[in-house]
Amino acid sequence: MNLIWQAYLQNCRAIIRDGRVVSYGNAPAELANTRAASTGSATVLSDLSHFGLIQFSGGDAQSFLQGQLSCDVRQVSSSAALYGSYCNPKGRMLASFLIWRDRDGDDGNFVMQLPSALLAAIQKRLSMYVLRAKVNLFDSSGMWVRMGLAGSGAGPLVQQVTGGIPDSHLGVIHGEHASVIRLAQDRFELIVAPEHASSIAERLSRDAMPVGAPCWDWLEIKAGIPLITPATQEQFVPQMANLDAIGGISFQKGCYPGQEIVSRTQYLGKIKRRMYLANIKPTGPEIPIEAGDELFSADMGEQSSGMVVNAAASPDGGYDVLAVVQISSVGAGKIYWKSLNGPALEIMPLPYKVSQ
């Protein structure tokens, strides 16, 4: 987290732990307002410094990334972002990310956003494959402040700050002091230079309630956007986490690590697990539900039938989760958290279609 920006957040009463804004002192109210924002009756503002940025530049940046990532990097431009994944040779995801080009995108500059906890290892691994390619990659997290804006007033506020607004899903525009990515109809990410961040945040917070990162986590879960973390690395092929449904896999591009497995899974119809949106209400003492928690079902006996990908406290009680689960188990009956005696998952509809 940029130190000047951190000082500003602390001055705004932000509670920061491990580079992540936990809350502004009233987490229940922040979550309630985030729920209202999801239905279009409020607007919230979240710091996104818990995500890191890897910058790629050089004449071979596009071709290098095209040979490493599951998405079609040729579709990433200064006006369009993409979701994607980076896999090991067995097709298991090491990271999921959002990638875009900066305002100098025509010169080959790409920006990959992923959890800060994964950044160093992913940067090091990608660096090993640069070889003679004209590519420079470095951690640019401190060069930019990221803010998430969601709710009924998000669009007009973006218009005021940047002078424009992206028309399409994952569209990007670059204003004088901020770039913006449209993540959904009423949800945006702003990328701002540190010297302008506090003034822009002051303007936004007049009409948007500042909320902690857990609230943004909840919005991402409700949107069905998976985030690979250290607890879930190398657990899923991209289709299991619905990357194909959100544009994070290209089946027409050339080779990349794990491509053969990913393609075979797709064309031979061997997708046995898919990601579902669900709510879990633990019973008894409050025990947090976390990424990496195993799930069980009667048809699988003592063998795990799934895993929690992401979890966040729900404004309706318990936790809302994204969970990769055996498709047959979902059809056969209840899925349970941690054991067959644990609380059952209440499956909810995702905001997009997924082929079974």
The rounded distance, in Å, linking the Cα atoms of 276 and 283 is 21
- Whether 212 and 280 map to the same domain: the answer is no
| Number of residues that this document lists for the chain | 356
The rounded distance, in Å, linking the Cα atoms of 39 and 41 is 6
**Residue 355, domain member (yes or no):** no
Query: Where does a domain end: 185, 204, 226?
Result: 226
Query: How many other CB atoms sit within 10 Å of the CB of residue 229?
Result: 18
- Whether 84 and 214 map to the same domain: the answer is yes
pLDDT value at residue 133: 86
- Whether 121 and 251 map to the same domain: the answer is no
- Whether 217 and 250 map to the same domain: the answer is no
- Whether 143 and 282 map to the same domain: the answer is no
The rounded distance, in Å, linking the Cα atoms of 42 and 330 is 34
- Whether 47 and 157 map to the same domain: the answer is yes
Query: Where does a domain end: 175, 197, 226?
Result: 226
- Whether 137 and 37 map to the same domain: the answer is yes
pLDDT value at residue 175: 87
**Residue 231, domain member (yes or no):** no
In order of 137, 226, 315, the CA distances from 93 in angstroms are: 20, 11, 30
Query: Where does a domain end: 195, 226, 257?
Result: 226
How far does the chain reach from its first CA to its final CA, in angstroms? 40
What's the average pLDDT block by block, 10 residues per block, for the chain (356 residues)?
A: 91 95 97 96 97 95 96 95 98 98 71 98 96 92 96 95 94 92 97 95 97 98 98 98 97 93 84 96 84 96 95 96 96 94 96 88
- Whether 247 and 221 map to the same domain: the answer is no
CATH number at residue 341: 2.40.30.160
Domain that holds residue 167: 1-226
CA angle in degrees (0–180, nearest 5) for 161-213-127: 85
- Whether 39 and 164 map to the same domain: the answer is yes
pLDDT value at residue 132: 85
pLDDT value at residue 108: 60
**Residue 232, domain member (yes or no):** no
Q: Within 13 Å, how many C-alpha atoms sit on residue 192's CB side?
A: 26
Task: Give every CB contact of residue 47 below 8 A, 6+ residues apart in sequence.
Answer: 5, 9, 14, 21, 145, 146, 147, 148, 210, 213
**Residue 233, domain member (yes or no):** no
How many domains does the chain fold into? 2
